[in-house]
Amino acid sequence: MPILRRSLKLQDAAIMQVTSKVPLERVLLVPFAIQMVGMVGVLGYFWERNRQQVLEDLVNRFY
């Protein structure tokens, strides 16, 4: 168990060293931006798919 605790302490120290250099604004902004880009992509995909289905239905109805 002592080896595991020592490695966890080293890991925590390494994480703290890296995260202390990253501004809080960036830590909060990056995940938010990734979610927004992902949601816009998903909504755009479904919007386009629905548009194609509506056009196919209209074409089949009138021809």
Residue 4 is predicted with a pLDDT of 62
DSSP-assigned states of every residue in 10-62: HHHHHHHHHHTTS-HHHHHHHHHHHHHHHHHHHHHHHHHHHHHHHHHHHHHHH
Over residues 1-26, mean pLDDT: 75
Predicted TM-score (pTM) of this structure: 0.58
pLDDT digits (tens, 9 = 90+) for 16-58: 777 778 888 988 999 999 999 999 999 999 999 999 999 999 9
Residues 6 or more apart in contact with residue 27 via CB below 8 angstroms = 19
More confident residue, 12 or 39: 39
Query: Is 2 in a helix, a strand, or coil?
Result: helix
